[in-house]
């Protein structure tokens, strides 16, 4: 039986992407996205951590900036770490398979700022969690 794990969010980038390299030289880029839900004065904001890998990470670093409206498609990736106090923690982040910028900047930048689609080659989807540099 086939299975599927997929999440899609549309929201605003909460911080500029941070590009890092793993020990094996693979690029990884992280940023956060805020998704508002609710209506009127009853809105709440959910924050998501997003990571991109390989060529897609480099594209994210070049095109994504804080405040931009973005579409993210990917899967949840569990991440485990140990706090300074020695407590083990677990969080879920989105490992992006695709992203598209949905807004436009100034008119002068429109030609260079078209929505970006970055399909991930199959080899970029597989990664070793031990290579995460943080």
In this structure, is residue 123 part of a structural domain? no
For residue 30, pLDDT over 90 is answered with yes
Residue with tokens 């900036």: 65
For residue 10, pLDDT over 90 is answered with yes
Between 66 and 112, the higher pLDDT residue: 66
What the block records as the tokens of 40 is: 């009127």
33-86 tens-digit pLDDT: 999 988 888 889 999 999 999 999 999 999 999 999 999 999 999 888 899 999
In this structure, is residue 125 part of a structural domain? no
User: Distance between CA atoms of 71 and 93, rounded to whole angstroms?
Assistant: 15
In this structure, is residue 90 part of a structural domain? yes
Domain count, the chain: 1
86-110 tens-digit pLDDT: 999 888 899 999 999 998 764 445 4
Domain housing 108: 8-114
In this structure, is residue 41 part of a structural domain? yes
List the CATH number of the domain containing 82.
2.40.50.140
115-125 tens-digit pLDDT: 555 555 545 45
Beta bridge mates, 28: 20, 53
In this structure, is residue 52 part of a structural domain? yes
Model confidence at 1, in pLDDT bands (50, 70, 90)? confident
**Could you tell me how many residues make up the chain?**
134
Q: For residue 41, how many other CB atoms are within 10 A of its CB?
A: 5
Question: What is the reported pLDDT for 26?
Answer: 92
Find how far residue 51's CA is from the centre of its chain: 4
Query: 3-state class of 134 per DSSP?
Result: coil
pTM here? 0.71
Which H or E run contains 58? helix 54-63
User: Distance between CA atoms of 30 and 132, rounded to whole angstroms?
Assistant: 11
In this structure, is residue 128 part of a structural domain? no
- Residue 37: phi and psi, rounded to 5, are -135, 155
In this structure, is residue 3 part of a structural domain? no
In this structure, is residue 121 part of a structural domain? no
């Amino acid at each position: 039986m086939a299975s599927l794990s997929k999440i899609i969010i549309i929201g605003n980038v909460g911080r500029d992407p941070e590009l890092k390299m793993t020990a094996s030289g693979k690029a990884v880029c992280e940023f956060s996205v805020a998704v508002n839900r609710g209506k009127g004065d009853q809105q709440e904001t959910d924050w998501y951590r997003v990571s991109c890998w390989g060529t897609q990470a480099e594209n994210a670093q070049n095109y994504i900036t804080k405040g931009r409206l973005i579409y993210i498609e990917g899967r949840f990736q569990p991440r485990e770490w140990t706090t300074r106090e020695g407590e083990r923690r677990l969080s879920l982040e989105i490992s992006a398979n695709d992203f598209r910028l949905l807004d436009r900047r100034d008119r002068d930048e429109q030609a260079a700022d078209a929505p970006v689609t970055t399909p991930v080659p199959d080899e970029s989807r597989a990664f070793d969690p031990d290579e995460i540099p943080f």
